[in-house]
């Protein structure tokens, strides 16, 4: 979204404003270990892990890299990896 002079946004602007830009670590899901318990989706404070075709996938446009999903995963299926930019 092109920002305007007065730094203001339309309602619902986070649809176009991606808030995941300041992440250091990125969650990488090992889908083979995943037992589909959905705890990562439940615990994600940004609500940005979605079930897509049966797989739990973080939406990296909004993921802040907090690592809560990796911490909660009972199968240790999620690794927090230093993100290269």
Min CB(46)–other proteins separation in Å: 12
Min CB(63)–other proteins separation in Å: 13
Measured from the CB atom, the residue of 21 and 47 that comes closer to other proteins is 21
The answer to whether 82 contacts other proteins (rule: CB under 8 A) is no
The answer to whether 4 contacts other proteins (rule: CB under 8 A) is yes
Count of residues near other proteins by CB under 8 A: 15
> Rounded CA gap, 65 and 69, in Å?
9
CB-count burial class (<10 Å; 0-12, 13-18, 19+) for 44: buried
Taken in order 82, 38, 55, 73, the sign of the CA dihedral is positive
The contact pattern for other proteins, residues 55-74, with x = CB under 8 A and - = no contact, is --------------------
């Amino acid at each position: 979204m092109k920002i305007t002079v007065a730094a203001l946004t339309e309602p619902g602007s986070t649809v176009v404003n991606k808030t995941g830009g300041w992440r250091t670590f990125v969650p990488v899901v090992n889908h083979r270990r995943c037992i589909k318990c959905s705890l990562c989706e439940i615990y994600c404070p940004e609500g940005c892990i979605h079930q897509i075709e049966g797989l739990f996938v973080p939406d990296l446009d909004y993921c802040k890299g907090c690592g809560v999903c990796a911490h909660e995963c009972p199968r240790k299926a999620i690794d927090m990896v230093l993100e290269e930019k």
